[in-house]
Structure 1
Amino acid sequence: MKALKISSIVWLILFIVLVIFIMMRHVDGTGVVQTMPIKLVNLGVLAVFALVVLVGHIIWFLIIRNN
């Protein structure tokens, strides 16, 4: 259970850092100017990835709880 809490905190910190990074940058690596719609698309992609991680954490929690 301790490993689940630690990994959840790490993922939460990583998610927050990535959201701040996406919202603060003005130009991406290819030189494209980041407008608000592009930033929202990037946040949507990050949210889908975060949902996959969340589902994995929920499954992990249910397995730990049942044992």
Structure 2
Amino acid sequence: MKKRWVSWWIANVIWIALFAIGTFVVWTREVDGAGVTQTPELKLVAFIVLLIASIIPLAIQLVWMMINLKSGRAS
């Protein structure tokens, strides 16, 4: 496996871990940083915001994967 693929997998693992940790924090907290008690609806909204924010790294990872695939075929 080439270095660029190893880097890609490491970056993926980091992003998945960050998303999992963020999800765990959102679903287990009782009170947020502003002191608002978290209801299931507010937890869902916070999760959706986290999900939307994770779209940017996902797009970057997909472009990186396509570059790796194209450069792998060329060599």
Q: TM-score of the superposition, structure 1-length normalised?
A: 0.95
- Structure 1's unaligned 5+ residue stretches are none
Cα distance per residue 1:11-39 (max 9 Å; x no partner): 10111011000000000111100111111
Equivalent residue in structure 1 for 2:25, among 12, 21, 29 = 21
Q: In the alignment, what sits opposite 2:7? A: 3
Q: Share of identical aligned residues, percent? A: 30
TM normalised by structure 2 equals 0.85
Number of residue pairs matched? 67
1:35 — aligned with what?
A: 39
- Residue aligning to 2:53: 49
CA distance, structure 2, for counterparts of residue 10 and residue 16 of structure 1: 10
Partner residue, 1:61: 65
Moved over 2 A (4+): none
Give how far 1:64 is off: 1.3
Q: CA deviation at 1:8?
A: 0.2
Structure 2: any 5+ residue segments left out of the alignment? none
